[in-house]
Structure 1
Amino acid sequence: MTVRNLLLSILFTAAASSLVAQDAAAPAGGAYRSFTPADQWELGLNAGVPFVSGDLDSKLGFGGGLHVRKALDHVFSLRVGALYAKTKNEFADAESNSEMSWFSGSLQVVAAVNNIRFNKPYRKTLVNAFIGAGATSFTTKYTNVLQADGSNNGEFKSGLSPYIDAGVGLAFRVSPKFNIGLEYGVAFVLGGNGDLLDGDENVDSRTTTYRDYLHYPNLRLNFNLSGKDKSGAMRSEPLYWVNPLAQVSDAIAALEARPVFDPTDTDGDGVIDMFDQEKESPAGARVDTRGVTLDSDGDKVPDYKDKEPFSPPGYSVNADGVAQVPPGLTEADVNRIVDAKLAAFKLPTQEGLADWFLPVINFANNSYDISYGEYTKLYQVAQVLKSNSKIRVAVTGHTDQTGSDTYNNVLSYNRAKAAIDFLVSQYGISRDRLVLDWAGKANALVPARSSQINRRVEFRVAKSGETDKPRPEGPEAGKGRFMGNKASGY
């Protein structure tokens, strides 16, 4: 019953420490800001030289283990560990000896007893004290050790037995991720197996040690397991390394670093000095949001001196900020420039225009009559001829694919002749500047049999020495009229 009550007391202490570590409830006035950061777990490896103090003389053995540790707050933490140890005991003047193999697991409450000072952001050296409880299974082999049943040699197996351990240690912070510790722990087994770690209960003696103790001096290599909290921020070192007031100190330092609000406005421009980049702006001058005198057009003359605050860009300005724009052109100047350009404009010579084509006019089916819609095109041809008195133009008639070759040849001739007559009679173009040409249905532009696109007259610059084609043989073809006169040869 005593053993069970002691174990329950230790577990209750650990639970109470966990509750103390929780954040306080939010005050009624709003959300509570916790100054306890989310921290990292510690994973540790240890190795040492265990020995048993009991009825036989102690000899150093060897042992090792591992642990996981998590802070409850800045002082208390829980540590779960496992240990394997092997020890030896013997009498120096006798042949009595024993060897013990120990396997155990424990839960300990660790207190960082020096992390209650607030003079540094973190501890470089940590003083730890711990107490805990666990369960062990040990086996002791003994030689020439008298037992209660009268035997001297044999082996004792404890089965699963509860034990209590306690100890102290020092840890040295090497980096935010790693620290080295030196620790000394003592464990004793509860119940009837407590005096059998060395295998000797002093059966033949009136005096005996009530319990044997497992001592474990050891070296520890401890690693902090980094990670992120719920907000995505990196977790801090375990809290037992961190100053409990570190975050409060940082918050106070941030407040102290804020500039003191000073509403002074020395130059009275409406921008206080702590933001004003020009603290002596002229009185009455307009300024921007930085307190700098405005220069709207960027001409280096501030607006309060500028007689033209929005000068056109690209021109130099005088001392008053007025752009020095040269005088503008009058309408007479523009007309003179245009006339000079037109007078100097010349189309290329006859040889250079060999592949240049003028507008095309089209005709109705089986007709060489020029419709009103084609008058504009003939006007354009006439204007080119008038502007370029040295060129001659070939006028070529075409037909669609309907009808015989003989008929279409005559019809294409009539269409070319009608266009020439129109230019001569309506615009006074000299007949010797126009060369009559015909092609019948030979040069169709589209494959359709009957298409107005093919029923056309084309204009192009005549080749040197090119003359009229004579009328082809055949009867009269097409319907229409020639707009000629006697001066044109009709």
Structure 2
Amino acid sequence: MRKVSLLGFALLSLHVFGQTNYLDEYRTWSIGGGIGHTYMLGDLKSFQQGRDQYTRANARGGFTVAGYGHITKFINPFFGLQAALTAGRVTGTPGTQSGNIPGRHFIGSIIVPEINASINFINAFRIGEVRPTKHSFIGSVGYGFAIYDYEVYINNTPTPNYTAGFNWRQAVAVPVGFNYKYRLSNTWDFDAGIKGFFFNSDLIDGTVYGSTNDQVIFTSVGATYNFGTKAGKKESVVYRSPVSDLYEFTASVRRDMDKITKDDDGDGVPNMFDKEPNTAKGAVVDGAGRALDVDGDGIPDHLDEDPFSPKGAKVDSKGRELDSDGDGVPDSRDLEPNTPKGSLVDVRGRAIKSVGGGLNDAFIPQVYFAVNSALVTSANAERLAVVARLLNANPDMKLKVIGHTDKTGGEEYNRRLGQRRADAVVDYLVRNFGIDKSRFTTESAGKSQPLSPRLLNINRRVEFIIQ
């Protein structure tokens, strides 16, 4: 019952919700033909025992060739209309159990123009199927008008009423067929079929015996060319099922909904729009889910230990500006990139020749901190190494270490935070580089001396003054 309901829904959908638009996607017209064999089922039949006794080879009930052609229009994926023509030879013999017609055998010709209704059986049962198919099974039933002629022999001799030449007779035919189609391409199909012709006459074989009308079975192979009214068509509509397409569409919507609602990397951008679906946890991203790189140095901010490098500056794998001579001045600003280690330099990396009047121009790198933190991070290790080299190269040098904060928070809180930052830097230099603690004095400026009114991260710092 569920299949019938879905089938009905699919047909209704085609009619009500844009049948033309759906069919425009596929080829609905086809033309084709093929050849095959006819099998006579009348008072005289094909391939009967004892047929070798008849000397007329073409009237011995053997193999006979026939051909067919058709043009078909599918109204929807389930139903189509077909105009066809089948023509060929038929022959038969009485066999060994044929009552009072022994010795009769015949050869005849038959032509059947027909109009058929075609039913695509596979689409009626592809409920839930979403995989593309290359197979189709088409059933057909219709109405035909047969014209035929025959030559009847008795023991190899023409019957007395035999008239040479064509003497066409007429009969009504009901064709019932079944055709298997295999998609070779979007335009071509291979066909294999069987069709029965049921006549309203018992004279197709030239013999009237009993009360049963004659039938002819036609088996065939052939090819079909599929086409449509618009260019760029896909395959024939017989290989598509609107029910399957509905399932596929629903599944696609479900997948898209999952992409819209799921965020596997937790960056706040749904999978469907996430250009970097494996962003590290905690990374700040843009609207497309790509990790931000504010300074454009190629190192995402969540990995960048110096996220405000000057534009175009060369950085290491952690985003820190390169400082080839280790004087604390990055190469991008260093006018003397080969200063000897331990040299005291100014802000442009130029060596200060003597400790004296030029001492106030000396450059000592600053140390930066995270929000509400006094932890000396690894990003500051190289900066403090520069400070340690300066102190070791100048044993009489003493430094005032001043802690600063940004503008958030109260005065007293920031005073204490600035002091903790200054103490943490001194402790780092003492523990890691062995500098005598007596060479330092510390104080806190709190939030009273900001370097920038907008860049809060620059204000969270510790700076050094030579005493």
Q: TM-score, normalised by structure 2?
A: 0.48
Bigger CA radius of gyration: 1
Q: TM-score, normalised by structure 1?
A: 0.46
